[in-house]
Amino acid sequence: MDTSKKYIEMCERAEKIQKEWKPDNGDFYMYKPTGNQSIISLENQLFETEHDVWLPRQDQLQEMLSDNFDSIHDMFGEFTCWIYDLQTTAEQLWLAFVMSEKYNKVWSTTKKDWVAQQAE
């Protein structure tokens, strides 16, 4: 599970994905009470606060696209063609792919935010 500063930042800025979060056992999120930060996995309790940042696992990111493709084979084929800017981890790659496919956005390393994808 990616808990790097970059992935947390990417997740925090993916506001549409954060709004879709329905906390469930096994979810990872960053808990930020009064300036302190810690990564927590929901194990036997369900709660959320407006300040927590959900850190979707790779399987959760893939599930977000299940309605966009006819099969997992089609999804992976498109994903393979899509990879052009290698990120650091599988979660970062899949988060960027979800944001591109669903919201037409790409991660800007200079702005440290999701920006509209440029037409080719």
pLDDT surpassing 60 at residue 70: yes
The mean per-residue pLDDT over the stretch 89-93 comes to: 86
> What pLDDT does 33 receive?
57
Distance CA 76, CA 83 (A): 11
Confidence of residue 28 (pLDDT cuts 50, 70, 90): confident
> Residue 115's CB: how many other CB atoms inside 10 A?
12
Summarised one tens digit per residue, pLDDT across range 95-118 is 999 999 999 999 888 899 999 988
| Structural Rg of the chain based on CA atoms | 15
Proportion of the chain above pLDDT 70, given as a percent: 78
Distance CA 88, CA 39 (A): 19
Pair of tokens at residue 61: 């990111």
Summarised one tens digit per residue, pLDDT across range 42-59 is 654 555 556 688 889 999
Distance CA 49, CA 59 (A): 23
End-to-end C-alpha distance for the chain, whole angstroms: 33
Residue 6 CA, chain-centre distance (Å), reads: 11
Q: Do residues 32 and 52 lie in contact, with contact meaning Cβ atoms separated by under 8 Å?
A: yes
> What pLDDT does 42 receive?
61
> What pLDDT does 44 receive?
47
